[in-house]
Amino acid sequence: MKTNYKIQGTPNSPVLMFSNSLGADLTMWDDLVPHLLPYFRVLQYDTRGHGQSELTDGPYTIEMLGKDVIDLLDQLKIDKVYFCGLSMGGMIGQYLGIHHPNRLHKLIISNTDAKIGTAEGWKDRIKTINEQGMQAIVDGTMEKWFTKAFHSTHPYRIAEMREIFLANRIVGYTACCAALGAADFREDIKKISVETLIITGDEDEVTNVEQAKALQKEIAGAQLKVFNARHLPSTELPAYYAETLIDFIVGEDGFDRGMHVRRTVLGSAHVDRANGNKNEFNTDFQEFISQYAWGEIWTRPGLSKHTRSLITLSMLVPLNKKAEFKMHVRAAFNNGVTIAEIKEVILQSGIYCGLPAANDAMHSAEEVFEELGLEYKE
């Protein structure tokens, strides 16, 4: 099975994987991504039969769709992820939590239930679509997905999601409807042991707050977050949704967030050494760095970590702080910077900051390359 996917972010960051709802595709998560990239590599994929993923004959099962996730992770050589699935994606998340907890750090299941709807209701929908096409249910779907207020204030986004829905291939959509009609995790949901967050909308008529509370009772230690939204809060409130995920996975405290990003950039070994050297004199300074430099500046979504690394190196050249410069050369590789880009930064800095400083920076960079066993090749 060929799965269409998109992965963004720096190589040293943990992976946060997103699974789309029935009738949507991987782009439903796009508005969240800038807020999440300071913390994670973001992996989006199209569920089988949706978007650009392969269309195979139906019916499908949630087990089949869950195994597609495992196959994709194996293909990408990713051992564990934070997994967030909405509606159908939430059922896929439940399957993974029950059968593959070893592949999950934490689990977020959004606007979903252990059993969604009835088998008869899904059969009726399949019949309607086979006879009348996706157009027959698009208006009702948009009403279920988004609040009236969002329809009024974001008509362009409604139009985009409407086009995505209408572009669905009938065979793939109805095959997933069959999977949802057959899926029932009510007996198994209590087996989920991985730390879980449940999200729903207070106006969601598809999977309501009461159903979310019932899930919370069944999953040991599960947290619940209720949004002022309908069935697609991730699209309706992307910044708040992203913040909720960061709170759950990383922490609400600026220091915790800073330490998370600091580790992804500098590496855990460096951060552990710095923390191991803390004493009464330097502890406040170490915490200041984590709280403000890493927790407030490096977490801002306006620039990628890759770009921040290049800017940091260019500013450190004229400061001529060799230890700090070498530390950020090492860190740059964690942010996806290449040797060629480091060379260009030093050359550019030589013109505007002075050749002696650039010369020292060039030697310092070469020392790091040698330490890491790296060789520059055109």
pLDDT in tens, 238-261: 999 999 999 999 999 999 999 999
Give the separation between CA 341 and CA 257, rounded to whole angstroms. Answer: 28
Q: What are phi and psi of 311, to 5 degrees?
A: -65, -45
Binning pLDDT at 50, 70 and 90, where does residue 377 land? confident
Instruction: Measure the CA–CA gap between 325 and 328, rounded to whole angstroms.
Output: 5
CA pair distance 213, 199, nearest whole angstrom: 10
Tell me the residue ranges of DSSP E strands in 72-184: 81-86, 104-110
Report pLDDT for 232.
98
Report the percent of the chain where pLDDT is more than 90.
97
| pLDDT score for 275 | 87
- pLDDT for res 236: 97
The CATH number for 5-250, chosen from 3.40.1380.20, 3.40.1110.10, 3.90.1300.10, 3.40.50.1820, is: 3.40.50.1820
Residue 357 — pLDDT band, cuts 50, 70, 90? very high
Query: Residues of CATH 3.40.50.1820 domain(s) within the chain?
Result: 5-250
Residue span(s) of the chain under CATH 1.20.1290.10 come to: 254-372
305-319 and 339-353 are packed helices; what angle lies between their axes, rounded to 10 degrees?
40
* Average of per-residue pLDDT across 326-354: 96
At the top level of CATH, the class of 254-372 is mainly alpha
Separation CA 123–CA 119 (nearest Å):
6
